[in-house]
Copies of this chain bind each other. A is one copy, B any other.
Amino acid sequence: MASEEIIGLIAAALTTSSFVPQVYKAWKFNSTKDISMTMYLVFCTGTVLWLIYGIRIDSLSIVIANAVTMLLSLLIIIAKLKFK
């Protein structure tokens, strides 16, 4: 594997896993008041386009990262809808 793909995979692991504590916090405390719904709606749409981009430029890091991040941001959107 090329060294840039290793950097990309570590970057992907960090930016993707970063959403886990936010999902955990929202669902544990049932509170999402300070979280911006606009942010997650726009972000989620963006990850769909990044996914297409990753497939087009054949970047494994971008594809994996954005598939998982999209799902995690969806969980935050659901929490935001559920816990006002």
Contact = CB atoms under 8 A, between A and B. Distances in A.
Interface of A: 3-4, 7-8, 10-22, 24-26, 29, 31-36, 38-43, 45-47, 49-50, 52-53, 56-57, 59, 61
Copies in the complex: 2
A41 B46 CA distance: 21
A35 B1 CA distance: 36
B53 A39 contact: no
A30 B59 CA distance: 39
A77 to B, nearest CB: 12
Contacts of A13: 46
Nearest to A11: B49
A22 B50 contact: no
